[in-house]
Amino acid sequence: MKGLGFALITVFLASLYSIFAKYLVNSLEPLAIQTMRYVLASVVLLVFIYYKRRLENLKAVSARHVLFIAAISFFSAFAGPLLYLYGLKFTSVINSVLVFKMEVVITSLLAVVMVKERVTKHQIMGAAIMFLGVLVTISNGNFSNFSLNWGDVLVFFSVLAFSTGTVFFKKFVHRVPAEDVVMLRNIFGALFFVLASAFAIDYMEVIPQMSLDLVAVLLAMVILPTTIGVYCFYRALQVSKASELATVALLTPIFTSILAVAFLGETLSIWQLIGGVLIIGGLVFLEVHFRKVRPRHKRRRNLKLKHWHH
C-alpha cells in the first residue's frame, strides 16, 4: 500500500510537468525555461549530495562511465526536454502526453538494434495499436485531409531523444547506481543548457519578463516534478515492484488530460479520447505480455517499461 501511494504521487507530479511547461512556453523561450530549470535543479541536487555525503560516490564513477553519462545527458537531459518544450508551443498538452507514450515502442525498437533484444509478435501488435492511437490523435480523425502539426512532430523527436538516452544507459552504464546517474545527468544537462543559452538567449531581456506568477510556476516545476517527483519514484521502486509502478504510470495521460482541461482550458475531443484509449490499450497489452515473459527471462537485460529517466 505504501508503494502504491508513492507511485500515485509520482504519476501525479509527473503530470504537473506538462501543465507547468505549457504555461511557461506561452511567455518564455523554451531554451531559457529549461536552462533555468536545470540550473536550479542542479543546485538542489548538489545540496542533496553534500547533505547525504554522496560526493565520494560520484568520485568513484569511472572516467569512461562519466563520458557515457555525458552522452546520455545530451539526449535525455538536453535534446529531449528542449524538443518537448518547443513542441508544446505548437500543440496541446493532451496531444503531447499521448504522443509521448510512444516512448515504450521507440525504446523497444532501439533496444532491438543496440542491445540485441528480441522482438515478439505481441510487441509488434502492441506497437501497432499504439501507433494507430497516435495517428487518430494527431489527425483528429481527419484522415482524408491529414496534415502534420509541427508541435506533434517535435514531441515525437523528443521521444526519440529520450529513448536513445534510455538505451545508452542500459547498454553502457546500467551497473552504475541509478541515483548517481540521475545526479550526473542533471548536472551535465545544466552545463549543456548554459552553453547553448549563452549564445542564443539574452537574459537581460528575459529577466524583466519574469513576473511573479512565472517565477512561482518555474519554482514549482523544479520542486514538484523535478525534485520531489524523482524522490518519490525511487521510494516507490524501493517498496514496490517496478512492474507495479509501470502499471500505475499508465494513468499519466489521464491525470495530465484532466489537469489540462481544468487549469489550461483545453478541450478533449472525441478523437483524442479514442486515440488515448488505443494508446493506453496498447500499453496495457504490452505490460501484460512483459509480465508473462519476465519470469522466463530473469537473467536477460530488459528495458521494457522501466525507463530510468521518468
Say which range, 49-53, 119-123, 205-209, 258-262, has the weakest mean pLDDT.
Answer: 49-53
Is the model's pLDDT at 302 over the cut of 60?
Answer: no
Residues 6+ apart with CB under 8 A from 64: none
Q: What's the 3-state SS for the chain?
A: CHHHHHHHHHHHHHHHHHHHHHHHHCCCCHHHHHHHHHHHHHHHHHHHHHHHCCHHHHHCCCHHHHHHHHHHHHHHHHHHHHHHHHHHCCCCHHHHHHHHCCHHHHHHHHHHHHCCCCCCHHHHHHHHHHHHHHHHHHHCCCCCCCCCCHHHHHHHHHHHHHHHHHHHHHHHCCCCCHHHHHHHHHHHHHHHHHHHHHHHCCHHHHHHHCCHHHHHHHHHHHHHHHHHHHHHHHHHHHHCCHHHHHHHHHHHHHHHHHHHHHHCCCCCCHHHHHHHHHHHHHHHHHHHHHHHHHHHHCCCCCCCCCCCCC
299 — pLDDT class (breaks 50, 70, 90): very low
190: pLDDT strictly greater than 50: yes
Q: Which three cell numbers stand for residue 45?
A: 541536487
Provide the Cα torsion 247, 253, 259, 262; round to 10°.
-130
What's the mean per-residue pLDDT of the chain? 85
Backbone angles phi, psi at 112, to 5 degrees: -60, -40
Handedness of CA 207, 210, 216, 217 (dihedral sign): negative
Which triple of cell numbers denotes residue 20?
507547468
Residue 186 CB neighbour total at 10 angstroms: 23
pLDDT of 276 higher than 90:
yes
End-to-end CA distance of the chain: 21
pLDDT in tens, 93-106: 999 999 998 888 89
Average pLDDT over residues 32-46: 91
Q: Measured on CA atoms in the order 243, 247, 253, 254, is the torsion positive or negative?
A: negative
Q: d(Cα 150, Cα 154) in Å, to the nearest integer?
A: 6
* CA neighbor of 253 nearest in space, from 82, 95, 129: 95
Residue owning grid cell 546500467: 174
Q: In this predicted model, what pLDDT tens digit does every residue of 163-189 receive, in sequence order?
A: 999 888 888 887 787 778 878 888 999
What are the pLDDT digits (tens) for 42-59? Answer: 888 788 776 666 677 777
* Pairwise pLDDT comparison (137 vs 183), residue with the higher score: 137
